[in-house]
Amino acid sequence: MNSQSICSWIYMLLLFLFNWNIVDVFGQSNNFVVTNFGALADGITDSKQAFADAWKKACQTPGGIVTVPTGKTFLVSIGEFEGPCNGQTLLQMDGTLVASEDSKLDDTEFWITFHKIDDLVLCGTGIFDGKGALSWSHCDESSSCHHRPASLRIHAVTNANIQGITSLNSKMFHFQIHNSQNVNVENIRITAPHDSPNTDGIHISNSRDVKIVNSIIGTGDDCISLGDGCTNVNISGVACGPGHGISIGSLGKYSDEEDISGITVTNCSLSNTTNGLRIKTWAPSKSSIVVSDITYADITLDNVKNPIIIDQHYCPHDECQNKGESSVQIKGVKYINVRGSSATEDGIEVQCSKLKPCEDVEFCGVELKLNGGPTIANCSNVGGQFLESNPSCHDLLPLCNK
């Protein structure tokens, strides 16, 4: 039985058995309910040890399950769920986990970490509440704002299914997927206020074969961002907004970065976001990586400030103004059937590097309006073809003036 069907099977059981104790159903053998390990559902007492103990048992047991029961709230100051485990390990997350509000804990890098696990299932209707408000408030004063933990870290994990859960008000990023392979994220919800600093929804880096499907993400930063070293990542059926859109980058800041290729973003909608579909690289760049084979298709935008943007001159805070061009090569980027409303007259901004002009950037069926009227396309250092006369493309507006 694959992990997805185990997940739905458990859902069905819960549904049919109603209030039966799941322990009775499975016997004590493979199901470890956190309350049986001393977790206190008062939302105040730190239950980190109970969660650690339940995880340890489940991890050692083939097909082990950690159950966080429905309707219960647990404070967990820090959660470290580590493998290698003895076969598949499932965290059946139906309750609520709250992080500590204590800003002294903000020195830790992550709140909940899944590390070195093969075959992980994280599913349920539960909520990870990062309690970010207090730590965001420090960001006005700048200094104590830098070290805030990300809510959920998926690190060195292979074959993971993450389904159904909600991540709320992370202190920093909601999800970080790093050094992982074959990760499916489905039907999740990520929520934080539009002005919460650096609360990116899902940040993926150095990972391959990742799928994000049918999820709702509204945050104060990128809904989804892809860092260097990502290969074969599909994002589909994601509703993004508020937030900063779906981003690749920023890239080229560090010398040890790796290429990005095979990214598809399909059937997504973006509403009230500052950016829509963005690729950004630092100028100058410390690495000369290649970003290739990127496809955006069937995207609707609603009131988006920069709907389509490639910015190869990224350098915030005037750190490196005019000190060089980006050496990151962008090639093979397709925008197919991208439609909707822009909040500014700049529908398409493609500002590539003089040093490494963009190659093969194609627009097909791109229609972006401002108050029902046309928008501008502003492009420089872009090579390749613009499919103005492609017979399969309709309503090809606006066109880049090369």
Ligand X SMILES: *[C@@H]1O[C@H](CO)[C@@H](O)[C@H](O)[C@H]1NC(C)=O
- Catalytic annotation, pick one of 203, 244, 313, 394: 244
Element (H, E) at 137: helix 133-137
- Contact region for ligand X (CB under 6 A) — 78-86, 235-243, 320-328, 359-367? 235-243
Q: Is residue 378 within the footprint of ligand X (CB under 6 A)?
A: yes
Closest CA to 331 of 385, 367, 376: 385
Element (H, E) at 57: helix 48-60
**CA 374 → CA 39, 73, 269, 276, distances in Å?**
58, 51, 20, 17
For residues 321 and 312, give the distance between their C-alpha atoms in angstroms, rounded to a whole number. Answer: 13
Q: Which of 164, 241, 249, 357 is in the footprint of ligand X by CB under 6 A?
A: 241
Preceding peptide of 398 cis, ω within 30° = yes
Q: Is residue 125 within the footprint of ligand X (CB under 6 A)?
A: no
- Contact region for ligand X (CB under 6 A) — 5-13, 131-139, 223-231, 264-272? 264-272
Q: Is residue 87 within the footprint of ligand X (CB under 6 A)?
A: no
Closest CA to 233 of 178, 182, 304: 182
Q: Is residue 272 within the footprint of ligand X (CB under 6 A)?
A: yes
CB 344 within 8 A of CB 377: no
- Contact region for ligand X (CB under 6 A) — 61-69, 133-141, 263-271, 356-364? 263-271
Q: Which is nearer to ligand X, 209 or 362 (CB)?
A: 209
For residues 97 and 358, give the distance between their C-alpha atoms in angstroms, rounded to a whole number. Answer: 45
Q: Which is nearer to ligand X, 179 or 271 (CB)?
A: 271
Q: Is residue 374 within the footprint of ligand X (CB under 6 A)?
A: no
Q: Report the nearest approach of ligand X to the CB of residue 105 (Å).
A: 32
Q: Which is nearer to ligand X, 176 or 180 (CB)?
A: 180
Q: Is residue 234 within the footprint of ligand X (CB under 6 A)?
A: yes
Q: Which is nearer to ligand X, 99 or 238 (CB)?
A: 238
244 catalytically annotated? yes
Q: Report the nearest approach of ligand X to the CB of residue 233 (Å).
A: 7
Query: At CB < 8 A and 24+ separation, what contacts does 395-401 make?
Result: 395/365, 395/367, 396/363, 396/364, 396/365, 396/366, 396/367, 397/366, 397/367, 397/368, 398/347, 398/348, 398/366, 398/368, 398/374, 399/363, 400/348, 400/350, 400/363, 401/377
Q: Is residue 292 within the footprint of ligand X (CB under 6 A)?
A: no
- Contact region for ligand X (CB under 6 A) — 39-47, 87-95, 206-214, 277-285? 206-214
Query: Contact positions toward ligand X, by CB under 6 A?
Result: 209, 211, 214, 232, 234, 236-237, 239, 241, 264, 267, 271-272, 303, 351, 376, 378
Catalytic residues: 244
